[in-house]
A and B are shown apart, each in its own frame.
Chain A
Amino acid sequence: MDILLKQVGYSYAKDTPFEKRALTDVTLHIPSGSYTAIIGHTGSGKSTVLQHLNALLQPTEGSVLIGERKIEAGTKAKNLREVRKKVGIVFQFPEQQLFDETVLKDIMFGPLNFGVPEEEARRRAIALVEQLGLPEDVLEKSPFDLSGGQMRRVAIAGVLAMEPDVLVLDEPTAGLDPRGRREIMDLFYRLHQEKGLTTVLVTHSMEDAARYADTVAIMHSGKCVATGDVREVFANEEQLGDYRLEPPRTVRMQREFEEKTGLTLDELALTEEALAQSIAQALKEGRELK
């Protein structure tokens, strides 16, 4: 499902002495089936953009087109349930949204709200618990008896159970251990590919953006200052620096390697594996040249 933000502006607490501008003239196209990363410094407006993607916030200027549905500044949008059914958001620290008696009921909460039959909701919950690597007996436990990492997974399952077309992720792995991070990010990527989901990842981690996304948008003080192919964006170190961002570790290491050896690698390495491979290849070829 396509999402198009057109010259969106947003101010919190508009028309009061507390008014605070968060977004100015943001135009951003998220094509159907793409994996888009939104990166930017703290307070750049990433999270505000994210809340426009399923009409939790309505723009104070401009318009947002979500699939067929247009949400414009100045008009009060009603019946947003259809939109929210299609666009699932995993918020930062999603375990804060757990509330029900059992994990099963909590996961079923979303789908039931959107009119999925109970049997189907239950089936989805059971399948997701397994996919997220949780033990099966967790279903009948209270979500508050779980460990932090398990709670996070249950909360994510609660969003995935809605089977949205667009998955919006706001720092979904913040505060998890490295292995848990990787597992969860890989799961999102697998779903993205298998189900053809449109995925939007809001993140501080340049490494995650490089590894998973195909398009990257940079936010800076409430404006969308650059969008482009992931390699394009991360190759432009000067631009990243302007917005107080650093290239991913792999790119930095590649640059250092190139500088020290005088060899040039074929393409920008976005993952450790790719970097290792192209270094190995370059060394092999380099040796042959000698």
Chain B
Amino acid sequence: MMEKMIFGRFIPGDSVVHRLDPRAKILFVFLFIAIVFIANNAITYAILLGFTLLSVFLSKIRLYFLINGLKPVFILMAFTFFLHLFFTEGGALLFSVGFVDVYEEGLRQGIFISIRFLVLVFMTSILTLTTSPISITDGIEVLLGPFKRVKLPVHELALMMSISLRFIPTLMDETGKILKAQMARGSDIGSGPIKERIKAVVPLLIPLFVSAFKRAEDLATAMEVRGYRGGEGRTRYRQLNWRIMDTLSLLLLVGFAGLLWYFRS
């Protein structure tokens, strides 16, 4: 199951989207999130959906893979859909089941909100799927740069982010290893009554915590030994460079926002 999850995963590739500057991509996604809320009728939502599918196409990520990997999100989507379907009143009464009345407006809202949800999830997934975690952090560090003025520890925040991202796969591996070792000793999280399963979590979590703390300590020592002393005056090994494509992508987004604004009712 874990293998199929694509949340926060990075797939190396060589598409137009992969080559964009991380700063451009992050800005793009943030602006996009705001722009999504311009849409308010069938045409604008259709344009929104089309634009998102175009982005998926440009990123060369297989749609099937994306949909398969985001299955858990669809459950949440279905939930919000039905919530709107059942609890929004207005327009003509379509039908009623027992004490639940379904109105036209509810159906409309349900579909719109689901599309909004889908589009947001797809776009943010494209960001993480096409940008390595390390470049995302680099991008965020630069974008947050202005906040240094108000004493926000930007470098430290970025460092914390990159360290935690760096350790996700390590901890996943370790979880797998410990899980297997305990399974070999007859404890099984995957089967049996709920009570047994909860009990089986303890032999997994404790070793995991122990090793995570040990790793943190080792890392701190290693950093100190190599003279790490924060971001002041530090140069970068990975240089970000902003190209014409990045400007174009943001301009495209502005044009897209204008289009949505024009068709909105």
A residues with a Cβ closer than 8 A to B are: 12-13, 16-18, 51, 54, 56, 78, 81, 84-85, 87-89, 91, 94, 96-100, 109-110, 113-114, 144, 158-159, 162
Interface size of B as a range: 20 to 34
Please tell me if the beta carbons of A98 and B207 are within 8 angstroms of each other in the complex: yes
Return chain B residues, CB-CB under 8 Å to A159.
Answer: 184-185
Residue of B nearest to A101 (CB): B206
Return chain B residues, CB-CB under 8 Å to A114.
Answer: 186
- B182, B186, B187, B207: most-surrounded residue (chain A CB, <10 A): B186
Residue of B nearest to A96 (CB): B207
Return chain A residues, CB-CB under 8 Å to B174.
Answer: 96
Q: Does B243 contact A (CB under 8 A)?
A: no
The list of the 3 closest CB pairs from A to B, nearest first, reads A113-B186, A99-B206, A110-B185
Task: Out of A78, A96, A100, name the residue touching B177 (CB < 8 Å).
Answer: A96
Majority DSSP secondary structure for residues of B touching A: helix
Task: Out of B11, B188, B203, name the residue touching A99 (CB < 8 Å).
Answer: B203
Please tell me if the beta carbons of B184 and A89 are within 8 angstroms of each other in the complex: yes
Q: Does B210 contact A (CB under 8 A)?
A: yes
Q: Given A16-B65, A109-B203, A144-B210, are A97 and B186 neighbors across the interface (CB < 8 Å)?
A: no
Please tell me if the beta carbons of B207 and A18 are within 8 angstroms of each other in the complex: no
Q: Given A17-B11, A99-B206, are A91 and B186 neighbors across the interface (CB < 8 Å)?
A: no
Could you tell me the distance between the alpha carbons of A56 and B190 in the complex, rounded to whole angstroms? 12
Could you tell me the distance between the alpha carbons of A114 and B188 in the complex, rounded to whole angstroms? 11
Please tell me if the beta carbons of A13 and B3 are within 8 angstroms of each other in the complex: yes
Kindly provide the distance from the CB of B170 to the nearest chain A CB, expressed in whole angstroms. Answer: 13
**Contact mask B185-214 → A, CB, 8 Å, 1/0?**
111100100000000001100110011000
Please tell me if the beta carbons of B180 and A56 are within 8 angstroms of each other in the complex: yes
Return chain B residues, CB-CB under 8 Å to A89.
Answer: 181, 184
Q: Does B159 contact A (CB under 8 A)?
A: no
Could you tell me the distance between the alpha carbons of A84 and B97 in the complex, rounded to whole angstroms? 51
Could you list 5 A-B pairs, sorted by A, with CB under 8 Å?
A16-B3, A91-B181, A97-B207, A98-B207, A99-B207
Could you tell me the distance between the alpha carbons of A96 and B211 in the complex, rounded to whole angstroms? 8
